[in-house]
Structure 1
Amino acid sequence: MRFMVIVKANADSEAGVMPSQDLLTRMGHYNEELVKAGVLLAADGLHPTSRGARVRFTGNRRDVIDGPFSETKELIAGFWMIQVRSLAEAIEWVKRVPMEDSEIEIRQVFEAEDFGVEFTPEAREQEERIRAHLTAKH
């Protein structure tokens, strides 16, 4: 099972305050543990929303909203993509994140089999081609 582990933004991350050297060191060690365990698929931090934008879809209309965005509790500051056997295992890994005063959300990623018969053989083949292409690029 794949899970996206979402680090929620806070006032510091939205202000562009960079993590301390100590936190960067501890996070590096934590990420190495994930790699050694074979569960880490990807991980990155995100710039503040002041450097981003949103696109709102209303029918055929597309509205671009420039950051910053005011409600920090719903914003994302970074993420990990991990592959583990269960939500319980994902939770155990997240409990080890060396952060303080943060909130992290864990969400399972959909797999092809989750979509049922609506995910046609043609759509499966297309998905496999896309994944093969992405794997080849890396």
Structure 2
Amino acid sequence: MSQNNNTKFYIASSFRYSKLINDLSDILENLSFVRTYDWTVNEKADSIEKLHEIANEELQGVEQADFLVFIFPSGKGANIEFGIATALKKRIYILDIENEIENFDLTSTFYFLDNVKIFKGSLDDFTNFIIDCETK
């Protein structure tokens, strides 16, 4: 998996982690990775039409990505994006920021699939982990 200028990523998470998401994205983009969709710029949807528009943009973002980053824990939308990436056999990197992914009340069996790599630690170390995995 040699990383080049065409390696694309999507970050699935919760709005509460927007700063972390954008910091991670900035680091990856500075290394020539391409973010497929930035949903953190969206305002809260106020209509079914807006939900429809956002859903299609997010779906396209996941479909176009070579890999998905999942910040755990996250909400229902991020878990659906995780499911889409799983169905599409994407590489998935999970950042377990609260060290709770092995808590049986919070986790999912799908977080432990072969295409999923779980990381516990700092954002900088997580970024290095992704880069190491993507440039092998």
The higher-RCO structure (CA 8 Å, 6+ apart) is 1
Establish whether TM, by shorter chain, passes 0.5.
no
TM superposition score category, shorter chain reference: under 0.3
Q: Which has the higher strand share?
A: 1
The TM-score normalised by the length of structure 1 is 0.22
